[in-house]
Structure 1
Amino acid sequence: MTQSIVPSTPGPSTPLSESYTYHSPRPTAEGPYILGVDEAGRGPVLGPLVYGVAYCPVSFKGKLEGLGFADSKTLAAEARSSLFDTLSSEPSNLGWSVRVICPQAISSGMMKRPPINLNVQSREATFLLIRETLAKGVQLTEVYVDALGNTTTYEKDLSELFPGITFTVTTKADSKFKIVGAASVAAKVTRDACIECWHFEETAGNDQVEWNKAFGSGYPSDPNTQIWLKENVEPTFGFPKVVRFSWTTVKVLLEKRAHPVKWSDEGQASLVKAFETGKGLDKDRCRVTRDLQISSVNIL
């Protein structure tokens, strides 16, 4: 889902358990433009993963250097909030977008067969944000991406996907390039707002169920996060949608504190074997039709 503008803090009606893309208004200054990409919330067991981009004209780079953008993790919350206001206060020169990937989407992708791991999901979010920026008519000539892993391959893939743009993919890009620092601020402020304003859909119409928001940092190693998880596991239904159910921390807790589950398809043959035909009288019937006692009906 795409939305034109995101408020500085999502309201109660914002469906934070879904994935969204938000865009600021398109800057009016002449191009060409540079763009930075960074994320917030890759490691936590709680909340969304947010990818952010920020962009400005090449001619604005000098002024951008003096605005104070940096790796959002090195900034206090008040400083990040102030810088986000700055990012939104230069509509003629500064633009930004964020992709909010909800916890359920992250885990569903990771649990698929074959799995869509976090690296793939991160790249897809980056591709989406760049495509949508270009679709707005922004002329991009330089893009800087903060990334982990094999940055050389990633840089090559981006260059092939978006010819005509010079890509620089590197670790700690948010501390090396101010435009990536600006993207880092957009991503971090958005994620923090999502966590702060999280609405537990699971409580709708049920006053007996309530979850507090003493999440801690959301990282699996945080004692406060560990306490919250242990205190809020529901034996039958598990956790609310704020939790990434594919994280090992969550799997272990469910095994220890939730009711055991036996899936109905455990021990069945593979799909190939399931649809193999039998022998003798069953030579025209596969295992599925035999087990379910399904037979052909002649239509006159």
Structure 2
Amino acid sequence: MDSQPSLSTSQDLGDSQLAGDSQLTGDSQLTGDSQLVDDSDPSDPLSLALLQQHPALPTPPTPLSDSYTHHSPTPSSGLPEFPGGRRRYMIGIDEAGRGPALGPMVYAAAYCPVDWEELAGLGFNDSKVLSAATRAALLSTLSSHPQHLGWSVRVLSPSSISRGMLSRPPTNLNVQAQSATVHLIRAVYAAGLDIAEIYVDALGPSVPYQAYLQGLFPQAEVTVKPKADALYPIVGAASVAAKTCRDAWMERWVYEEPGMPRSRSLAAPTAAASTEAAPADEQEQEQEQPTEHLGSGYPSDPKTQSWLATRLERTFGYPRLVRFSWAPVRLAMEKHGHAVKWIDDNQASVVRSFASATGRDKGRCGLAKDLGLRSVADI
């Protein structure tokens, strides 16, 4: 029997088969050769686990120029050559970073045999109710059972999110999220795993979304529920993978823009280093770990607002860290950026733009007419 492809790290490959070992490949290679200057507290467990060791991030750190996908090694118990026959798998899907105006949105999948009883005792849960130290430990746990437990992340860069939402017609965030979910599930199927059950944290109304996914994957039983990360440990594992990956990108962000520091990291211990779980009243909304300068990344955060106010370049806007499609960002650019007047702003109608030229415009090239160029003799 032919061997199945192993899961690996890839750029935006769509539905194509994923193969390789640990390379970043695809339609837009992550680029950059600058080194990250890590001036955070070396005893900070989050810094140790995420800044230095997160397996889903490129080493050395590079700018996040486009979306990409990372996969752990394919669990061997799901492959045909496993002693005693391969086992049927379940997969959980969750995300981190839908709401913030800064940084990537990360979708994650975790997968293991349906009958793997050890999963319940590993401590996976909704990442928002876990301390940073616990998440860091569980990140290690994700890779500690390669025979049975695997995981993948789909990292949607801020630029990709903005490009989709600002295109015509726009690709809204829900559609981008659905595409990321389907991409992850199909990649696991492509690796040769027999998926029997799919659990997804609800994205809006759960009933139509479940019907949509069930239609795409009729060979598996699909369950879409709110708070699925707290109900199903496999979704909790995906929640940890997504949250730690997004936090790592935020802490290891490498700027490409002139005038910005080439890299950023924690300047002092923050809430990200807390060893206590988040209060119950803060768990309804995903709590992005705040940093000294960026805040949580949510537009309502005063620290994030302050950062956005000081980082606007009036001609080119914001660094790639920012999602240009978010309403507060667009409004800030319209209010404080240089005004732009397009040559067709005063166009009375679309029909007039196709009308035949008359008078002095007749026979002149389009560029001369658009720019309003005239002969010196006419001045």
The separation in 2 between residues aligned to 1:248 and 1:66, in whole angstroms, is 43
Please say if residues 39 and 51 of structure 1, whose CA atoms lie closer than 8 Å, have aligned partners that are also in contact: yes
1:114 matches 2:159? no
Which residue pairs with 2:94 in the alignment? 38
**Paired residue secondary structure (2:314):** coil
2:106 to 50, 58, 64: 50
Which residue pairs with 1:295 in the alignment? none
1:92 to 134, 147, 161: 147
Correspondence list, 1:135-284, <5 A: 135-203=190-258, 208-210=259-261, 214-268=293-347, 274-275=353-354, 278=356
Instruction: Single out whichever of 163-172 and 252-261 deviates more from structure 2.
Output: 252-261
Give the superposition deviation at 1:266. 2.3
Give the superposition deviation at 1:271. 6.3
With normalisation by structure 2, the TM-score equals: 0.69
The separation in 1 between residues aligned to 2:140 and 2:349, in whole angstroms, is 55
Which residue pairs with 2:30 in the alignment? none
The separation in 1 between residues aligned to 2:134 and 2:344, in whole angstroms, is 52
Give the superposition deviation at 1:41. 0.2
Q: Could you say if the C-alpha distance between residues 288 and 177 of structure 1 is closer, same or farther in structure 2, counting changes exceeding 3 Å?
A: farther
Please say if residues 40 and 191 of structure 1, whose CA atoms lie closer than 8 Å, have aligned partners that are also in contact: yes
1:7 to 49, 55, 60: 55
Q: Could you say if the C-alpha distance between residues 237 and 87 of structure 1 is closer, same or farther in structure 2, counting changes exceeding 3 Å?
A: same
The separation in 2 between residues aligned to 1:273 and 1:290, in whole angstroms, is 17
Give the superposition deviation at 1:242. 0.2
- The residue identity in structure 2 corresponding to 1:46 is L
**Paired residue secondary structure (1:193):** helix
The separation in 2 between residues aligned to 1:288 and 1:31, in whole angstroms, is 66
**Paired residue secondary structure (1:89):** coil
**Paired residue secondary structure (2:76):** coil
**Paired residue secondary structure (1:201):** coil
- The residue identity in structure 1 corresponding to 2:99 is G
The separation in 2 between residues aligned to 1:34 and 1:272, in whole angstroms, is 57
Q: Could you say if the C-alpha distance between residues 271 and 165 of structure 1 is closer, same or farther in structure 2, counting changes exceeding 3 Å?
A: farther
The separation in 2 between residues aligned to 1:14 and 1:79, in whole angstroms, is 27
1:22 matches 2:70? yes
Please say if residues 203 and 209 of structure 2, whose CA atoms lie closer than 8 Å, have aligned partners that are also in contact: no
Corresponding residue pairs, total:
283
Please say if residues 10 and 194 of structure 1, whose CA atoms lie closer than 8 Å, have aligned partners that are also in contact: no
Cα-to-partner distance string for 1:186-232 (whole Å, 9 max, x where unaligned):
011111111111100113xxxx4448662111111111111111111
Q: Which structure has greater helix proportion?
A: 1
Structure 1: runs of 5+ lacking an equivalent: 293-300
The separation in 2 between residues aligned to 1:21 and 1:290, in whole angstroms, is 47
Q: Could you say if the C-alpha distance between residues 110 and 270 of structure 1 is closer, same or farther in structure 2, counting changes exceeding 3 Å?
A: farther
- The residue identity in structure 2 corresponding to 1:47 is G
**Paired residue secondary structure (1:155):** helix
Please say if residues 10 and 193 of structure 1, whose CA atoms lie closer than 8 Å, have aligned partners that are also in contact: no
The separation in 2 between residues aligned to 1:74 and 1:4, in whole angstroms, is 33
Please say if residues 233 and 239 of structure 1, whose CA atoms lie closer than 8 Å, have aligned partners that are also in contact: yes
CA RMSD in angstroms, aligned pairs only = 2.6
Structure 2: runs of 5+ lacking an equivalent: 1-10, 13-19, 23-53, 78-85, 266-292, 371-379
Moved over 4 A (4+): 2-6, 269-275, 277-280, 287-292
- What is the aligned-residue identity percentage? 52
Correspondence list, 1:63-78, <5 A: 63-78=118-133
The separation in 2 between residues aligned to 1:270 and 1:141, in whole angstroms, is 56
**Paired residue secondary structure (2:143):** helix
**Paired residue secondary structure (1:21):** strand
Cα-to-partner distance string for 1:119-167 (whole Å, 9 max, x where unaligned):
0000000010011110000110100000231211111111111121110
The separation in 2 between residues aligned to 1:155 and 1:50, in whole angstroms, is 20
Cα-to-partner distance string for 1:53-91 (whole Å, 9 max, x where unaligned):
00000121x211111000111111111111010011100
Give the superposition deviation at 1:262. 1.7
